[in-house]
């Protein structure tokens, strides 16, 4: 085997279809595009969602609801997750930076502690928001809930 004798496997490379090269080729005339209409013209590109003139789905379906542009969305973290962190890293204080370091919150996330699970350790937690049940559980365990 030499470099000058290399060639692709038999049947793996197809010849391209040459259209518009006269009637004798069998693909002259309309060049496999059918007759007339937008799709037969050069430069044709279909709009996204175009359904051939039929009323598009996006316009058939009614609009409803309201998206509040001022909504504040929090990343929820429950007490059971905090208890796991305390068990794993043996820490007495948890803040937003600690949660970001350990992949519990993103760089721009606002964090809210929720009350699912139980907290056994005395932990001081500093985040953006707390649910009422979370605050009572943290204080019951002897910790402190501080809002940023």
Condensed to tens digits (0 to 9), the pLDDT of residues 105-136 reads: 999 999 999 999 988 889 999 999 999 999 99
Counting residues of the chain whose pLDDT is more than 90, the rounded percentage is 85
Q: Tokens 């060049």 map to which residue?
A: 31
Q: Which of 63, 42, 59, 41 is nearest to 50 (CA)?
A: 59
Q: What are phi and psi of 74, to 5 degrees?
A: -105, 150
Crossing angle between the packed helical segments 79-89 and 132-140, to the nearest 10 degrees: 40
pLDDT of residue 29: 92
Q: Per CATH, the architecture of 74-147 is what? A: Ribosomal Protein L15; Chain: K; domain 2 (3.100)
Average pLDDT, the chain: 93
Pairwise CA distance, residues 39 & 26, whole Å: 20
């Amino acid at each position: 085997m030499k470099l000058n004798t290399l060639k692709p496997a038999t049947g793996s490379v197809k010849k391209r279809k040459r259209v518009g090269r006269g009637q004798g080729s069998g693909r002259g005339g309309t060049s496999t595009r059918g007759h007339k209409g937008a799709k037969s013209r050069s430069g044709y590109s279909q709009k996204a969602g175009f359904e051939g003139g039929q009323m598009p789905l996006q316009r058939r379906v009614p609009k409803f609801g309201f998206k509040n542009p001022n909504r504040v969305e929090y990343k929820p973290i429950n007490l059971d997750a905090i208890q796991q962190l305390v068990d794993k890293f043996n820490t007495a204080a948890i803040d937003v930076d600690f949660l970001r370091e350990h992949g519990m919150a993103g760089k721009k996330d606002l964090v809210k502690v929720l009350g699912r699970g139980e907290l056994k350790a005395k932990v001081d937690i500093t985040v953006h928001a707390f649910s009422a049940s979370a605050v009572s559980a943290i204080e019951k365990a002897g910790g402190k809930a501080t809002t940023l």
